Amino acid sequence: MSGALPGDLERASVRVDEEPAVQVAPLGPPLTRAEWIRRNLFSTWFNGSLTVLSGALVLFLGFHFLRFVFVTADWSVFRANLRVYMVGRFPLEHIWRVWAVTFFLAGLIGVSRGVLTPARWTRRRLLVVSPAAALGVGAALYLVRSALVWTLMGVAAATYVAGVAAGRRLGRRLVRPLLVGWLLAFPFVVVVLSFGDVGADRWGGLLLNVIVAVAVIALSFPLGILLALGRQSSLPAISWFCVGFIELIRGVPLLTLLIFGRFVLILLLPPGVAFAQIVRAIFMFTLFSSAYVAEIVRGGLQGVPEGQYEAARALGLSTTRTLALVALPQALRTTIPPMIGHFISVFKDTSLLAALSFSELLFTARRASQAFEFIGHQAEALLPAALLFWMIAFAMSRWSQRVETRVGVGER
C-alpha cells in the first residue's frame, strides 16, 4: 500500500480538481440568524423542550468542567512528571536521542504535509484551529519552565515549518525521497534510540506506545495480507490453517494473548533463546493485529469483481501476478478507511501494556497519581494521558476521513 499511496493521492486530487463543480440551484436567500435558530432548535414543541433540556445539561457540565480545568484542578502532578509521561525512565544523559528523532520526524511530517496537502485556510478552519493552538501554547507555558526545552521545541517547530515550505516549493519531485524517508524512518528511529547502551527496556511513556504501535502496524500489515490470501487459497490445508488461526485469535481478548507472551511463549522457544519482555509483547500483539488486518483485506478482496480475475487470466498472468498486479492493488484501495480505523485501535490498545506493568503512558500516569504528594489529584494525573491518546487517535481518524474522500472510496 505504502508503495502506491502518495502518487495515487496526487492523481486523485488532480482528477477531483478537473471535474466541473456541480451547480446546485440556489435554495433562496440564506437564512437569517433568527430563522436558523427557529428551524434548527425550536421547530416543534418537542424539539424546543429538547433544546432547553440539553442546553441546560451542556451549560451545567461545561461550567463544571471549565471550572475544574482552570480553577480547582492542580495540574502540578502532570508538570512534575512531564518527562516521564513522554519518555518514561529514558536516561537523562541520552535524552538527546529523543530530540534528534523529534527533529527528524518533524521535518519528515512537515515535508509530507507540504507535498500532499495544499494549504486551504478557510475561515471555519481558522476558527477551530486558533483557539486550540492558543490553548496548546498556554498549556506549554504552564508546563515547560526550562529555557533549553523551549529552545529545542522551537527548533522542532522551525524544522516542521521549513519542511512544509520546502515540500510546497518542490512539490511532487519530493514524492520518491519522501517514500524512502518514511520507509527508513522506523529503523532509523529504533537505531538512534537504542544503539550503544540504551536498551529497549528503558523506553517508556508515550514514546513506548508510539514505537510499539508502529512496530505492530508495520509487521502485521504484510502478515495480515498473507493470512488473507491464505484464507482465500484453493488449497484446503492452507486455507483451513489460516481460518483456524484467524478465528482463534479473534475469539480471545488481546490481554490473554499478552499474558501468554509473558508466561508461555518463552517456554515454546528452544532453551537458551530469550527475548526482551517488550519484544515478546510486540510479537503477540502482531499476531493479534494480523488476524484483524487479514479480515479487512479479505473484505477488500471479496469486493474485487470476478471479471478482473478472468481478465487477468485471459492476459495469461500467473496466480501470483494476478494477485500482486490486479487483485491486491484494487482490494487495498477500498480497505484504506477500515485499515486506518484498525491502526487507530492498535494505537489505543498499546495502553493494555499498562496491565502488564510496562511503563507506557497510562501506567506512568497511574503511578504518578499514586505518589504521596499528589494524593487526591488522580483526575489531574490521568486526564493528560487520556488527552494525549485522544489527540493522536483523533488526528489519525481525521486524516483517514481526508484520505477517504481523496481516493474516492465508494465513488468508483
Partner 1 sequence: MAVASTARPPLWRNVRFLRVAGQIVFVVLVVLVARQAFLNLEFGVREQRLDLSFDFLRQRAGFAIKEGIGYSANQSFFDAFLVGVVNTIRVALLGLALATILGLIMGVARLSSNWLVRRIAQVYVEVVRNTPVLVQIIFWYVAVILALPAIEGGISLWDLAFVSNRGTAIARFRLEEGAGAWVVFLFGGVVAAALVMRWRTSVNDRTGRTGPRLPWAAAAFVAIALGGFLFTGTPLRGDVPEVGRFRYEGGLQVSPEYTALLLGLVIYTGAFIAEIVRSSIQAVPKGQKEAAEALGLTPRQQLRLVVLPQALRIAIPPLNSQYLNLTKNSSLALAIGYPEIVSVSNTIINQAARATQMLLLVMATYLLMSLTISAAMNALNRVVTRRGRR
Residues that bind partner 1 (CB under 8 A): 40-41, 43, 47, 50-51, 54-55, 57-58, 234-238, 241, 248, 250-256, 259-260, 263-264, 266-271, 344, 348-349, 351-352, 354-355, 362, 366, 369, 376, 378-379, 382-383, 385-386, 389-390, 393-394, 397
Closest CB 4 distance from partner 1, rounded Å: 28
Of 137 and 387, the one with the shorter C-beta distance to partner 1 is 387
Measured from the CB of residue 167, what is the shortest distance to partner 1 in angstroms?
Answer: 27
C-alpha cell at 260: 501468554
CB of 165 to partner 1, least distance (A): 30
Q: How far is the CB of 290 from partner 1 (least distance, A)?
A: 17
C-alpha cell at 262: 509473558
To the nearest whole angstrom, how small is the minimum distance from the Cβ of residue 83 to partner 1? Answer: 20
Report, in Å, the least distance between residue 100 CB and partner 1: 28
In the complex with partner 1, which residue's Cβ is closer, 126 or 269? 269
What's the min distance (Å) between Cβ of 260 and partner 1? Answer: 5
Cβ closest to partner 1, residue 90 vs residue 292: 292
Q: Which is nearer to partner 1, 2 or 40 (CB)?
A: 40
Closer residue to partner 1 (CB): 57 or 324 = 57
Q: Please state the closest distance from residue 334 (CB atom) to partner 1, in A.
A: 16
Which residue number, 50 or 129, has a Cβ lying nearer to partner 1? 50
- Residue 326: DSSP 8-state: I
Least distance between partner 1 and beta carbon 128 (Å) = 13
Query: Backbone dihedral region of 16: left (phi > 0), alpha (psi from -120 to 50 degrees) or beta?
Result: alpha
Residue nearer to partner 1 on the CB measure, 99 or 245: 245
If DSSP states are collapsed to H, E and C, what string results for the chain? CCCCHHHHHHHHHHHHHHCCCCCCCCCCCCCCHHHHHHHHHCCCHHHHHHHHHHHHHHHHHHHHHHHHHHHHCCCHHHHHCHHHHHHCCCCHHHHHHHHHHHHHHHHHHHHHHHHHCCCCCCHHHHHHHHHHHHHHHHHHHHHCCCHHHHHHHHHHHHHHHHHHHHHHHHHHHHHHHHHHHHHHHHHHHHHHHHCCCCCHHHCCHHHHHHHHHHHHHHHHHHHHHHHHHHHHCCCHHHHHHHHHHHHHHHHCCHHHHHHHHHHCHHHHCCCCCCCCHHHHHHHHHHHHHHHHHHHHHHHHHHCCCHHHHHHHHHCCCCHHHHHHHHHHHHHHHHCHHHHHHHHHHHHHHHHHHHHHCCCEHHHHHHHHHHCHHHCCCHHHHHHHHHHHHHHHHHHHHHHHHHHHHHHCCCCC
Please identify, using beta-carbon distances, which residue of 157 and 264 lies nearer to partner 1. 264
Shorter beta-carbon distance to partner 1: residue 146 or 401: 401
